[in-house]
Structure 1
Amino acid sequence: MSKHKQTGIPPVFNNLVENYNHLGLPVELIDPDNEFTIHKLNDIHHELPYKSPVYRANFYAFVFVKNGEGKYTTDEMEFFTEPGTIYFTNPGHYKSFEWHQLKEVFLVTMSESFLKENVHASVFEEFPFLLAETVPPRVLKPEIYAEIEPLYLQIYKEYFSHSPYKNKIMGNLFVVILLKIKEYFWEDYNPISEGNRSSQIVKHFKRTLERHYRELNAGKARKVFRAQDYAAAQNLHPGYLNNVIKTKTGKSVTTWIIDKTITEAKSMLQHSNIPIKQVADQLGFTETAHFSNYFKKYTDVTPLVYRKQFA
């Protein structure tokens, strides 16, 4: 019996392969070495109805339901899906799903690193809805859904290609999907789950985190915020802020800061030619050696090796 089953604590998954392995679902169609995945759910779920246990996912998931029926939960909220539905969830939530009918449904997952490196360097500034606590699903009119379908089908084709540029191609195609989501989802967005105090704290924290790293990148800030700085920004005790963030997202404030620092470092190393010393300086490290050790601790490679991989 697994630890999660013994304690009753929902398991946490950092990627889809971990998720499907735990659920006993096939993973042959998923590239375990890519932080981006896309597949047809009807190729995975051969027996219906299917109902998953509750789990926490630390990755983004976008679902495109051309023809299918089911429902899913995000934290305490329940949503139903039908033909023409598009929905997405961001990292940290308790989730579960069930499918009663699957004829043509695609699932796309990705990490924040993939979003920053291949979709848009300022992805959360351009698409702020990605930071929202919960965005309810939308059922699109057939003519609107028809604008989005060719995009994810082309991404699906590229996913199985051997092009050295496939991540960039998929990322650029996904930018168009995000623009469509922004156009059709966001104009009348109703933050149904962001009215309670805890959700407001999480929302404020995520936006402060994103804004601070933009300022670091632009040279407008020199010092990386610590947990107590984010707490002070909301006039909260650091312990209380950490409890709220950990409960709502599954990650501590410190883990959020580490993940964000590494994500920004990867983006700068891949998308610019500035010296590693300058990357370290812009991220608040006084010593290049300290930055290199920090980066290697969380990625298993040095900044120089990481940059050479994308040269």
Structure 2
Amino acid sequence: MKATNEKLVFNTLIKQYLYFGLPTEGIDDKTDFTIHNIKDIHLELPFKSPVYRPNFFSFVFVKDGRGVYTTDDLHFTTEPGTIYFTNPGHYKSHEWFELNEVYLITLSESFLKENVHPDIFEEFPFLLAETVHPRVLGQATFSEFEDIYLQINKEYQSNSRYRARLIGNLFVVLLLKIKEYFWKDYNPIYEGNRSSQIVKNFKRTLEQHYRDLNNGKVHQVFRLQDYADEQNLHPNYLSNVIKTKTGKPISTWITEKTIAEAKSLLQNSSNSIKEIAFLLGFSEANHFSNYFKKHTSITPVSFRKQHGTIAC
């Protein structure tokens, strides 16, 4: 592993593992979803990672292992029966002392939107929580989660033409179980200090705004000033808070959200490219196509054809 004091940013798990000098065999670099037993990755213990910032969701299921992980300035221990998840934008590090069976799932927002639920954050608002504390479950309860993530792993290893959809549907079950056991009394208003609340409000506004765009309630994409106005903040102050707390400027949040929504619409709707462009606030289909290709290296038409939808 390379020695460094800088805080690293990774868009995919495979890039993270390559940087850490860890084996990547069995990790599919052509999808925004991964699952594996990290015992197969960390062959030498103890292992301690540098501080890094992933731009993907992580779910960890510790059946038999011990370690420590940090998210921003919070430190948590992991022991048998621990389940936790982290969302994009936070500084993280982790250390493992024992590893026998610990499964890690990583996935992008795009995968969630395309294969799990188009309104994923509306049904599962806890995914946007600023900080989620781990839970330690008894053996019987943990086994309920184990059955699901092992089935997900089985589908991940398969060559089924329906692999992504099968994984997506199983992941819905997993999220419902998490919601049932962990967040029955989840209160999205209480998230900690003032800066955390600003980030939370920004994320919720971002989600609601894109739902309004998709539903035709609004036709102009929010800019920085609009998000600042929603919280009665100066735009420079909002920018500083978002960048400091999440590591990403607001422009990046907006871009990633636009692309995630575009992919979801291209795959899950019969709207034409022109209609999708209009729904996302683009005045011209060509502008939308150029924007989409710039950020995905593929045109909307090609993306739609690859995902089995023929309307253009």
TM range (shorter): over 0.9
Give the one of 229, 237, 242 matched to 2:239: 242
Identity %: 66
Which residue identity lines up with residue 180 of structure 2 in the other structure? E
Instruction: Note the 1:142-221 alignment, pairs <5 A.
Output: 142-189=139-186, 194-221=191-218
Q: Which residue of 2 aligns with 1:89?
A: 86
Post-superposition Cα deviations, 1:22-59, rounded to whole Å, max 9, x if no partner, equal 11111112111110000101111111111111111111
Matched, 1:256 2:253: yes
In structure 2, distance between residues paired with 1:250 and 1:241 = 13
In structure 2, distance between residues paired with 1:161 and 1:222 = 42
Task: Name the Cα RMSD after superposition.
Answer: 1.6
Matched, 1:14 2:39: no
Q: Which residue of 1 aligns with 2:138?
A: 141
Which has the larger displacement, 188-197 or 69-78? Answer: 188-197
SS of the residue corresponding to residue 192 of structure 2 reads coil
Shift of 1:188: 3.9
Matched, 1:66 2:63: yes
SS of the residue corresponding to residue 115 of structure 1 reads helix
Which stretches in structure 2 are left out of the alignment for 5+ residues?
A: none
Q: Which residue of 1 aligns with 2:109?
A: 112
SS of the residue corresponding to residue 180 of structure 1 reads helix
Matched, 1:272 2:263: no
Shift of 1:103: 1.1
Which stretches in structure 1 are left out of the alignment for 5+ residues?
A: none
In structure 2, distance between residues paired with 1:275 and 1:48 = 53
Q: Which residue of 2 aligns with 1:129?
A: 126
Contact 1:134 1:192 survives alignment (8 Å): no
Which residue identity lines up with residue 22 of structure 2 in the other structure? L
Distance 1:130 1:209, change over 3 A: same
> Runs of 4 or more off by more than 6 Å in structure 1?
190-193
Give the one of 28, 38, 53 matched to 1:41: 38
In structure 2, distance between residues paired with 1:103 and 1:120 = 32
Which residue identity lines up with residue 157 of structure 1 in the other structure? K
Matched, 1:233 2:227: no
In structure 2, distance between residues paired with 1:207 and 1:189 = 15
Shift of 1:192: 11
Shift of 1:9: 2.8
Shift of 1:194: 2.3
Q: Which residue of 2 aligns with 1:27?
A: 24
Distance 1:193 1:49, change over 3 A: farther
Give the one of 48, 51, 61 matched to 2:48: 51
Shift of 1:83: 0.8
Q: TM-score, normalised by structure 1?
A: 0.96
Distance 1:132 1:159, change over 3 A: same
